[in-house]
Amino acid sequence: MNVTTESLRVLNTYNPLFYPETVQEGGRNRTAVLEAVKIDGSLLRYAAEPLKSDAEIVWEAAGNDGFSIMYADKKYLRRMDYVLRAISASPMVIAFLPERYRKSRAAVHAAIERNGCFLRFASEDLRDDRETVLKAVGRSGPALKYASDRLKKDEAVVKKALQENGMALRFADERIKKDPDFVSLAVSNNGLAIKHADINENDRYINILIKAIRNDPQAAVFAAEEAKKNIRVASETVSGNPMHLKLFDTGIRDNEKIVRKAVSINGMALEYCSNRLRADKGIVKAAVKSKGQALQFANQRFRSDKKIVLEAVRNDGMALEWASEALKKDREVAEAAVTQSVLAYGFVSEDIFSETDFSQKNHDASESEIITENTINITKKKGKT
């Protein structure tokens, strides 16, 4: 039987135990095994025992899949050059190698070169080794988690970790978390790092929090309670995510300037403002102009306000759902709604819907709209093909 690289790969993909003769024959064929391990180092497991001692075959296998060194003759686990090649290919293999390699600077450095978090497999001595930890956190900031307590206080180490990933602040010493300069560095890299800050100086905290929110609006979720009463923080937050208006103190949600900014960007933020501002015509108009569906959160009286409802349905015809029954019968309002969205027909009053000229006029318009839309879609598809 002719055993090729492809046949060995197929056997490995399925279940080689079903093909013992083929595996046995292929495993003795040096050329086939050498070709196979260049593609998939783990196939070394099926090689005949003499070939597991073959220096060239093991070298190629280890370079393709570091874990293959576990199938090689044990003498290769004593060869640093082979071990380093295996770690470079598959750094996780260091977790399964003899204990002495966790104490080896060369072996650990080979692993953290690929991913700093493999520092977790290093010996205690190397986790307390400044050069090793600096290398690890430079590759992956959160590797600070595996550094010794002494180095979690080391400003140079922490700074390098935060520059790589601000979220490494989580693993820094408590003193570092209280230091505005380090926290500022962290949030500059990742706004969400504010979650792990512990700053007592209110003014400094507010400035750093705003920096965090500018980096990532989601950082507002982790703001201290006192900061949720701060107008500067609120203004910055709603600029990035208007719906985060809900995070703030009632005083902020009753602040006309903040609420107007929020609803002008996303009208649906009207849901989170005070009852007083939901009854403010200027605020409601700004909201429905941005998102017609915001009409549902406005004071009930605006559902009967024709100007407001027209503004809403011109933005989103489906907002007709929230109009008063009287305005659902209003021809101008109904036409504006179905012109914006044919789906708004579902909310048009039966009284006006039954009028022949309204029904025919808007049916023709909506049919034309659908045809035009389908034509555009078909043209786009043809353009791609």
> In order along the chain (385 residues), what is the average pLDDT of each group of 10 residues?
49 42 63 89 90 96 96 96 97 95 97 96 97 98 98 98 97 96 96 93 90 95 92 95 96 97 98 97 97 97 97 97 94 94 90 62 50 39 44
Q: How far apart are CA 343 and CA 310, in angstroms?
A: 16
Q: How far apart are CA 96 and CA 169, in angstroms?
A: 30
Predicted confidence at residue 154, as pLDDT, reads 97
Contacts of 148 (CB under 8 A, 6+ apart): 124, 127, 128, 133
Report the 10 Å Cβ neighbour count for 218.
Answer: 17
Instruction: Find out whether 313 and 292 touch, Cβ atoms under 8 Å.
Output: yes
Q: Which residue, among 224, 221, 216, 219, has the nearest Cα to 199 in the 3D structure?
A: 224
Q: How far apart are CA 208 and CA 224, in angstroms?
A: 12
The whole-model pTM stands at: 0.76
Q: What is the DSSP letter of 190?
A: -
Predicted confidence at residue 378, as pLDDT, reads 33
- 298: helix, coil or strand? coil
Q: What is the DSSP letter of 103?
A: S
Residue that the structure tokens 């719906």 belong to: 243
Report the 10 Å Cβ neighbour count for 300.
Answer: 10
